[in-house]
Chain A
Amino acid sequence: MPEKPKVAFYWCASCGGCEEAVVDLAEAILDVIAAVDIVFWPVALDFKRKDVEAMPEGSILVSFVNGAIRTSEQAEMAHLLRSKSKLLVALGACAHLGGIPGLANLFDRESILKAVYLEAPSTVNPEGSLPTTHHKDDGHSVELPGFYNTVQALNQVVEVDYSVPGCPPTPRIFRTALQTLLGDELPAKGTVLAPDCALCDECPRKDSKPEQLSIVEFKRPQQLLIDEQKCLLAQGLLCMGPATRAGCEALCVRGNMPCSGCCGPTSRVKDQGAKILSSLASLVAGKEAAEIDRILATIPDPVGTFYRYSLPASLLHRKQLDRASLHEAAASK
């Protein structure tokens, strides 16, 4: 019997949803298990880092890494899996684009640590101790993973062969991606394994979208009784569909919620947020500066809305670091 292809899963800075997504394959997971040999999956199976280190280079067919890279340990694991695998796949929005953890790029390490360990109302930390990478206690010393200033997408740290988009990838996207990867014909390196068209294409509400949209106020879903048939953007809801890769079958929109952009931009777009901005800007009804300002002010949290999943991978990348943090960042490289 020929050897089954070896597959690994790993989890970096993410919520765990992508792991769920794998489990969400339901019965199909049995087919997967039948087809492959899972050699590493910390969330489900008891393998350790040293087991991976012991494997020959390139012996794993595919490693699926979900989560963004925000600590030194995650970067090390990414490099390790890269060297052991023929194909390295970014699974889910965080590995693909930086994801929601990537919004931390609006801050820097110091302010994040300060907020979490010193200022948060629920924090009790009378000594004011902060995480460090070296710790000595009672003559013993431990080394801990370092916390980076900047969150990065997987391909900003190691070479990535493919990405599977979504927060998390829907079972269908994941299944199709798996089939593609285990199949004979591999797509070009760098391909995002989902349709290369925006969501409106597969949206059930597409026909109701008017040719001439003119938005007088952006609304949040709780502010109106949403018409279940009509294009959400036409109802003033900030739907990211026009700027977001299709493939999810418009699950959110079918659930009466606007697309929040988790599948990222199409291959032709470098900056999803900038793209939706430039298209929304043309829909704003106002002509006078004051009226335009009023309408734009109804957009809640613009960065968090337009770049919810893609800030690290975007042209913006992060908020500018002050000089001191810049030096540190350079030194840590």
Chain B
Amino acid sequence: MSDQATDRTVPQMITGRFQYDDAHTIERYQATDGYAALRTALQMHPEDVHAEIKEASLLGRGGAGFPAGVKWGFCPPGVWPRYFVVNGDESEPGTYKDRLLMERDPHQLIEGVLIGAYATGCAQAFLYVRGEMALAQERIAAALNEAYAAGLVGKDILGSSFSCDIVLHWGAGAYIVGEETALIESLEGNRGMPRLKPPYFPAAKGLYMQPTIVNNVETMANVPWIIRNGAEAYTAYGAESSRGTRMFAVSGHVKKPGVHEVEFGTTTFRDLIYGHCGGIRGNHTLKAFIPGGASAPWFYEEHLDLPLEAGAVGAAGSMLGSGAIVVMDDTTDAVKAAWRVVRFFARESCGKCTPCREGTSWLEKVLRRMLDGQGRPEDIALLLDLCDNISPSIAWPPKQTTICPLGPSAVSPIASAIMRFKPEFQAYCGGGDVPTSVTINGKAYLPPEGAPAGV
């Protein structure tokens, strides 16, 4: 897991302990700087700890990429208690890093959460771990038990006036619960259906309508390093808005699929796909890749030299999302791949909004019909019309007719695939001259030939 993109060595800020088989034990953790950052933080005023995280411009790693330090400042003053909730529901297709961080280095996460709760004045923290991750639950439970026994969690932590319980909570199988307001509903014991934002921004009205900070596992895993080494050392790595390092899972048709912690903002897609992962398998060539999880519009050959930097990737019409890169070679059937992604969203829609509930399942049915050899000449226009109903004018970033972004997440990647691989879709619809435009707002809508993404 070293960075080949630059000459200088980039530290493994959050995966450094993965080299040890016993990294999950408190003994190994404490022998490798563990809980030093918590001690340092407790010597500082909470506001100064918060300021350090803000200065590090630590971007959220859960998908939306919002700066954690800024979010921590959104809690309304004088409203107590506040809660800290860690999002360990990792289930965006292609994403594989939070599970590793929870299984391999649970104390790092616990230390990050303690520092976060101290800085923001949260009196209780909840670790929401995806239900299917049994080993992560075991490792975190064991680590919490060790940390409680060592006086690191709970009452009067390390003899200070800081007291905070961390409660391990498991989900029970529902992708949508990864959305932060649905996560909160689930933590209240309800069906995991998102709330409308505004007004229900968690920092203002979260768990039990109290101020609640929700952060991703990887986000919080960075916190101990930042406090140990300072924001300046952290921002020395990365570029633009994307600082420090970041974990990326590269899966699909590469020679060596794997998870790599690389410098954020400077490493390119090419470095990862062709450097770290050895390039496309066999004698095949790249057809397309998903740059940030199933919700992200697809990228192609011409995007390989883009840096893994939130702003640059956004400007190019997609997103880094959850750090999930799925590579497809020239053997991939674009229609089949699009169908599989849509099927996911159709299965996982919580059903609260009509455009998402109905739209995603119709998209799935039409694509399935095409794959089954029953495609009709009007199907491509029908797909685009459905897309437009879920996410008006199929723009990037997407517009929403829904409560949460799940509905539009099914649209942008599919619409981009249809435009890029139109002949493949046409072939499933009787071939040749089938209509591929649709009327949107009274105008004929035909995305430009080969529009890469965000058509």
Q: Tell whether A pairs with B.
A: no
